[in-house]
Amino acid sequence: MQISAGILAVAKPEGVTSRDAVNVVQRLVRPTKVGHAGTLDPLATGVLVICLGGATRLVPWIQDGRKHYIATFRLGVTSDTDDITGTVSPGSDPSRITRDEVIAALQHFTGRYEQVPPQYSAVHVHGQRAYDLARQGVVSELAAKTVDVEAITLTVWNPPDFTVEILCGSGTYVRSIGRDVGHHLGCGALMTTLERRAVGPFSLDRCVTLDGLNVELITQHLQPPRDAVAHLPPVQLTVEEMQKLRQGQRCLCAPSITTATGQDYAALDENGDLIGVITPTDDQPPRWTSRIILPFSSAK
């Protein structure tokens, strides 16, 4: 089957790697190129966004989308992976911890803050993945990264377990939130379950399951590339403007369009289909320059 471009939201089950899920789709749509936008650990379930064909060029914009998670943590234990799949060690007795104390602790990790990734993560350390070093018994000094956690809401309090709903930006490690809350409370904590409910506009209710997946179902559930950049302001281009951009040239921004330097825009053709992502230069008058341009047969 040859697919020019599209986006498939898959409900990944527990115990399956993101690569495994991509391979299932890849076998069905060869020779179309396939890739995913944001890894889910085998423990995690939920939305895995898989891009097909020319839509693989849109992965960075999908990854930048807001994430919606439901996670459960357990107080009084820790692990080397910061979740239940690792080597679990006892922490301090959590019986003294109250619901209000957990709520207060969660607020310390809301907003923009510096978060240290887990030892078992894909962060590069001197050219190697942190998880590869961790498997060799090497403890790495991982640099903290700025993350943006819009909201954390306690939804279930069943001590020593508690469940939260999280809205966050790209690059946030949910395991690290649980680890840091446990450290803040002085008893330790690890993650026991994780479900990703949404990545940008791609939500769990729009997902297809891997069980019984076939070419017909992929075609039925394939979403257009434009959905990946629905958060970007749209700009409709003329045929001449599109031709210049496809040739690697720049074209003048229409005087009627107010542009912001550094802002990405969704470039649309006369039918409203996506042809790529463009950004204005700081010239006067400003000109459009392309960030990415989709192949001719990919615009939808």
Active-site annotation, residues: 41
Of 162, 234, 233, 230, the residue nearest 199 (C-alpha): 230
User: 127: alpha, beta or left, given left = phi > 0 and alpha = psi -120 to 50?
Assistant: left
C-alpha–C-alpha distance, residues 245 and 20, integer Å: 36
**Is the peptide bond between 94 and the residue preceding it cis, with omega within 30 degrees of 0?**
no
**Is the peptide bond between 225 and the residue preceding it cis, with omega within 30 degrees of 0?**
no
CA torsion through residues 54, 59, 65, 69, sign: positive
Strand partners, 292: 277
| Beta strands, E only, 87-226 | 88-90, 111-115, 124-125, 128-129, 145-158, 161-168, 189-199, 202-203, 208-209
Between strands 45-53 and 189-199, the pairing is: parallel
| Beta strands, E only, 60-159 | 67-75, 77-79, 88-90, 111-115, 124-125, 128-129, 145-158
CA atoms within 13 A on the CB side of 287: 12
CB atoms within 10 A of CB 45: 21
